[in-house]
Amino acid sequence: MRRRLARLIITACAVFLCGLGYAALCLALGTAIPCPFYSATGFLCPGCGVTRMCLSLLRLDVRTAWQLNPGLFLLLPVLAAAALRLAFRYVKTGSLRPGRAMNLVLWACVVWLLAWGVLRNVCT
């Protein structure tokens, strides 16, 4: 159990540091990786604006973060809770497979993101 906890902490720190590094790079260059879906189709994908949303959240500018991608912003607490639940499950049991209830929540998130992707293009 201690080994799994250590592995989880190291992985979480690595992901966090990569995210901070990407944020620093975006701020330094003034640009981010362009969305391939938007580049190919001209339509906004469900994740368009996520980099700018995260940068706004790092500056604690919740209002701007909401304006950039409200559909994904609403899912942040759900996704954070799901990640924490999976992390606790991994440390306790060694399993990365979500349970039945978690699967339903994750599929509901997928459906929401697909609906959000359609809705944001129809309404703008």
- Pick the closest to residue 13 from 25, 3, 21 (CA basis): 21
Calculate mean pLDDT across residues 18-40: 91
Indicate the pTM of the whole model: 0.80
Produce one character per residue of 41-53: b if its CB has 16 or more CB atoms within 10 Å, e if not.
Answer: eeebbbbbbbbbb
For the cut 90, the answer to whether the pLDDT of residue 15 exceeds it is yes
For the cut 90, the answer to whether the pLDDT of residue 96 exceeds it is no
Q: What's the pLDDT score for residue 99?
A: 87
What would the pLDDT profile of 42-87 be if each residue is shown by its tens digit?
Answer: 999 998 889 999 999 999 999 999 999 999 999 999 999 999 999 9
